[in-house]
Amino acid sequence: MTGTGRTTITGLRGAFLSEGFFILGTVPLETITSVAEMKRWAKLHSAAGKSIGLVPTMGYLHEGHVSLMRRGRRENDLLAASIFVNPTQFGPSEDLSTYPRDLEADSLKCASVGVDALFMPEPGDVYGPGFQTYVDVLEVSEPLCGASRPGHFRGVATVVLKLINTVAPTNIYFGMKDFQQLQVINTMVRDLDVDVNVVPCPTVREADGLAMSSRNSYLSPDERRQAVCLHHALHEAKKLFDAGERSPERYLRVMADRITREPAAQPDYVSLVHPETLRSLEEVDDSALAALAVRVGRTRLIDNMVFHRNNPANKPV
C-alpha cells in the first residue's frame, strides 16, 4: 500500500496467451480506490505534460474491453481504466446486484496490456452524502434504449462526466456496440465544452458474429446459439442497404422476422434511425443505423450496424 486508496501490484504483461498476448515480463499496475487519490495521480502526471487515456468499464472484462485498452496504450503516455458498476444507470428491476464481477481476473487483464492505473471506487465515494446533481442529455437519450430503460442514460452521462473530472483524460475510449451511449457522451462533451477527445472503437465480435458483452455470460448454451440472430438480422439489413432499398418498413420487417425465428428471442426494439440524431427514418438515403435490443431468454442484448453509401466498402461495425 502506497497511500490511502492506492495499491501497487505487479502483473504479468501478456499472460493471457489464449487471448493473443505474449509474455514480455512484468508491469506495475496501481489500483486506486479513492476519488481523491485518483485525482492526485491524474494531476501529478498532467502537470508533467503526460497524455492520459481512459477506458471506463463496469468490469468482467472481455476482449472488447481489452481492445480499447490496447488502443489507449498505443495512443497515450499513460493509460487508466476504471471498473465501476454504476448504480445510477440501473433500473429497479435490472441486474445491478447480479451483474458479473471478477476483479482479480480483471486486474490481471489490465496489467497484461500495460494499464498504469486501475480506478475502482466505491459507490459511496462517487456519489457522496447528499448527492443530487445529474446530467440529462435530452433528445439522443430518448429513443432506443432510453425508451425501455428510463433514466439509464442520465446515470451514464453523470458517471462519465464524473470520471472525466476525476481522471482528466486526454482521450476516452468507448466501443461502438453501445452506439447510443457513444452519441450521448459525444453530445454531452460538445454541449458542456468538456476538454476530452472521445474515441469510438469498432465492436469486437465472437467468431460467429455475436457482439462481445459481459452479459453474454448469462446465456445458456442453447440461448448462446440463438443469440447470433442479432448479428444475422443486421446482415440481412445490410443486404437491403447494398441493394438500394429505401423503405424503412422493409428493413424492420426483415430484421424482426430473422430474430423471431429463434424461440428464445423476443425483440425489445428493432429500429432504423439516423446515425447522428437517432430519429426514425422516413426514407433510407445515404446513411442509416440499424439498432436492436433483444431478450434471449432473460438476457437483454444489444447490437447495431452503421451503413454509409459514401463508404465504398460499406464495412459493418
CA distance 6 to 9: 10
Let me know: does 196 contact 51? Beta carbons within 8 Å: no
CA distance 59 to 83: 5
**Catalytic residue from among 45, 65, 152, 231:** 65
Residue 24 three-state SS: coil
CA distance 307 to 317: 9
CA distance 67 to 175: 9
CA distance 15 to 18: 9
Q: Which residue's entry shows cell 452519441?
A: 183
CA distance 61 to 97: 17
Q: Which of 101, 302, 85 is closest to 217 using CA atoms?
A: 101
Residue 126 three-state SS: helix
274 is catalytic: no
Residues classed as catalytic: 65
